[in-house]
Amino acid sequence: MSPRLTSRAKGPQLPDKQTTVFPLRRYGFVAGAVTILVILVSWVAVRAVEPVQATPVPLMIQPPIPFAGVEPPPIPSARASDAPSATPPAVVVLGVSRSPKPTTARTRITATTKPTPRRTTSPPIPAAAVSGLYTVGASWDRGFIGSVEVTNKSGTARTWTVKLTFDPSAGVGIGNTWNAQLSRQGNTFVFTGGQLAPGSKVSMGFEASKQVSGKIQPATCTIDGAPCQRG
């Protein structure tokens, strides 16, 4: 027998392919450790980059502790310098600063009052010195007779004047007169009498024509400027 065959017969021999089992296991362990290390390093890097959130700290307020026998500090009184200034603020109008003058208690305020207008009273109308009463005695279609009774109420003898004005459409014309002198001023007939004693009466009359039918009255009748009465 050959020596090679003799050696194999001495005991069991491991196959040749089993010689590489230990190195592969060692390499696999190293690779797993490296992988775990890389994962740990990556996790640490990510945590370092993330902002750290501050944990809110609870605020603790200590209740006030009363101190027996200790008075609170006095409140400082307002000083004169702290009081608001009595001078009013300046008034700015169109860029011009005008500071109004402060008014004091001694300033006198003068109120302007409008003068009361004087009442002008007209003097009382004196009583008529002479009065007159106008009447119509007779009347027909184209004429009538009129008269004025004059009374002197004054204390002295005096003359008098009676004025009669008729409507122009009536067409009145006066012819005969008595106890007076007649004159005409447009549509007004003027009768003037002589001296009449105080308290005396006189009846002056006239005869007139007209262009209307019926009884007519003068539009105006005055004696010495005062209105006559109508009967």
Domains of the chain: 130-230 (2.60.40.290)
Residue, of 138 and 51, whose pLDDT is higher: 138
With a CB cutoff of 8 Å and minimum separation 6, the contacts of 156 are: 198
Largest distance between two CA atoms of the chain: 220
pTM summary value: 0.46
Per-residue pLDDT at 135: 95
Partners of 203 in the β-ladder: 149
pLDDT score recorded for residue 127: 59
At 156, the amino acid letter reads T
- CA–CA dist 231, 146 (Å, integer): 11
- In one letter, which amino acid is 154? S
Range with the largest mean pLDDT of 66-75, 88-97, 125-134: 125-134
Do the Cβ atoms of 101 and 109 come closer than 8 Å?
no
CA 137 from centroid of its chain's CA atoms: 71
CA dist 208 and 174 (Å) reads 4
pLDDT tens, position by position, 156-212: 999 999 999 999 999 999 999 999 999 999 889 999 999 999 999 999 999 999 999
Which is it for the CA torsion 62, 63, 67, 72, positive or negative?
positive
Residues 188, 167: Cα–Cα separation, whole Å: 10
Which pair of tokens denotes residue 193? 């009498």
**Backbone region of residue 186 per phi and psi (left: phi > 0; alpha: psi in -120 to 50; beta: other values):** left
Q: Count of CB atoms within 10 A of residue 42's CB?
A: 10
Burial-class residue 152 by CB neighbours within 10 Å (0-12, 13-18, 19+): buried
Which residue type sits at 203? S
Position 47 pLDDT exceeds 90 = no
